[in-house]
Amino acid sequence: MAKIDRIKELIGFLKAIFITLIVIDTSLIAWIFKNYTQESNWKLYTVLFLIIILCLSIAKLFLIILQKIKSLEDVQ
């Protein structure tokens, strides 16, 4: 397999992970809005912490995907 094909496959795999993390993050945010008044504070803070971790992971993954896309320009 050519190097360009490997990079394209890696980008496709990273995009799948990226979309999955966004769906999980959105679900956690919706859970907080739905259960804000019913749940205890420690559960809400735990979910909020998970949301922050997921958002940072999504941002890092986004930068990695952009870096891989830019590396395609160098591959002939």
Total number of domains constituting the chain: 1
For 10, the token pair is 């890696």
pLDDT string in tens for the chain (76-residue length): 688 889 899 999 999 999 999 999 999 999 999 888 888 888 889 999 999 999 999 999 999 999 999 988 887 6
Q: Which residues contact 71 (CB under 8 A, 6 or more apart)?
A: 7
Q: Which residues contact 34 (CB under 8 A, 6 or more apart)?
A: none
Cβ(4)–Cβ(72) under 8 Å?
Answer: yes
Domain housing 62? 3-74
Determine the pLDDT at residue 1: 66
Write the DSSP symbol of residue 2. -
Q: What is the pTM assigned to this prediction?
A: 0.84
Determine the pLDDT at residue 76: 64
Determine the pLDDT at residue 29: 93
